[in-house]
Amino acid sequence: MAEAILHNDTILYADSTYEKTADTSIPEDLKDCDDLYAFMRAAKYALQSATTEEFRLVLTNTDKAVANLSDELRTALNSFDATTIINHMQKDPAKRTDIFIGILTRIRVAETHDADGDMVSWAECIAKINSELPLTPTKLGDMDNALAHVYEFIPRTITATTAICQLAKSMADAGYPDLKNRLLDFVKKPDNKQYAPYKDYIRSVFEIFTTKEDCDSLKEFAEKYMFEEDSPESYELTDTQKCYLLTNTYVENLIDSISSVKDEQPQKKLIWSFENLKGLSIGVYEIIYKKFTSLVGQRDRKPLADFMNLINYTIPVLRAIPIAIQSEALKTFYKNITDPRITAAGQNKSISVEVDQDNAQILADFNLTVYRVSGRNISINPCLITIQKNCEEYVKQQLVEFALPD
């Protein structure tokens, strides 16, 4: 019966209704009436037992534009089948307007019946359509107006996070920023971890919303999130994000979190930050040099192994530093590593006279790296001369590679 009325075939609908109700509902004398009157009388009885779903299908399929669509397409519209809808729109662009009328009609019916679940499903379907066939500003405005009622529910349930964020960006670019603002607010609230798509929305938000204004809005959240729960190296950040999303505050928090050479995670994040972030101030490098000095701690009677562990920890970080500056903090750190100290045996020695061949090469790397980041303003010759007897050829090779005077 529903199939018939959805095709606007009133005679078939009347026949099927009559057949369904003839035994109990239709008086015998109606069998001889005109078809129209028979249809009207039969429908009266049949509709009394019709379900809400049957009414919804009738209301959303009898619009003139929608009635001209194929059975397959109307079935796709009734089931939020974005793939089939996209295929039809690609094959027959002339039908796109009719399809959007069908979508809007269904959204309005869903809103009338407080069917928020259907409206959320339509939001996901529209997002997928927009990903393949970008909507015009006018259609984006129509969709924004139709779906605004359920924006708060979208990030809680829809798992097509990239498509939703792209739809939100398209809407915002067209002058309808409400969905975008809702998504940004959603990811910035840690309480929303309870919703399954939360982390996927964070990733999609960082991927899609990349302007300076977006970075300014997300910076406080991003710096805290990347510090506590994730790492920026797992994201493809744009140059703009590398300037404005993660800043001095993020790097300073990483430095502050280091308490020993066993803290590998902040070390890795620092290396990435120095290699990638664009807007760091000179003061940040002063802070890391002071942190390294604090890790030296009490020098006297500190064993060689402890010095070497610290050197191995700091070399990758120092190599990642992109600029050379004169720094008293760096000079202090270097002297705390290389100057003589009282050994456990009570002797006044520098580590340069204690190292074997392998450690001598590591110490040579350390010296040359410090020389570079200091802008050649720290004298490393005394230490190099001492260790050269253990690794002469290696030191000469490194001096050539660094283009330094021997």
pLDDT for the residue numbered 14? 42
- Cα–Cα distances (Å) from 237 to 147, 273, 275, 316, in that order, read 31, 12, 13, 22
Q: Alpha-carbon distance 278 to 287, whole Å? A: 17
- Which pLDDT does position 225 carry in this prediction? 97
pLDDT over 90, % of the chain: 73
Residue pLDDT, tens place only, 291-328: 999 999 999 999 999 999 999 999 999 999 999 999 99
pLDDT at 393: 79
Closest to 164 (Cα-Cα) out of 205, 194, 196: 205
Read off the pLDDT of each residue in 375-380 and give the average, rounded to a whole number. Answer: 93
Amino acid identity for residue 168 in this structure: A
CA distances from 117 to 114, 154, 166, 216, 345 (A): 9, 10, 21, 33, 77
Q: Nearest 5°: CA angle at 363, between 355 and 332?
A: 115
Pairwise CA distance, residues 263 & 277, whole Å: 21
- pLDDT score for 66: 57
Q: Per the structure block, which two tokens stand in for 388? A: 């050269």
The pLDDT of residue 208 is: 98
State the pLDDT at residue 389.
Answer: 77
pLDDT of residue 1: 45
Separation between Cα atoms, residue 201 and residue 186, nearest integer Å: 9
pLDDT (tens digit, 9 = 90+) per residue, 155-187?
Answer: 999 999 999 999 999 999 999 999 999 999 999
| Residues 1, 3: Cα–Cα separation, whole Å | 5
Distance of CA 261 to the CA centre of its chain: 31
Total H helices, total E strands in the chain: 24, 2
pLDDT at 403 over 80: no
pLDDT the model gives residue 46? 58
Give the residue among 186, 234, 177 at the shortest CA–CA distance from 211. Answer: 177
Would the pLDDT of 239 be above 60?
Answer: yes
**pLDDT surpassing 90 at residue 235:** yes
Q: Within 10 A of 117 (CB to CB), how many other CB atoms are there? A: 12
Domain ranges of the chain: 51-209
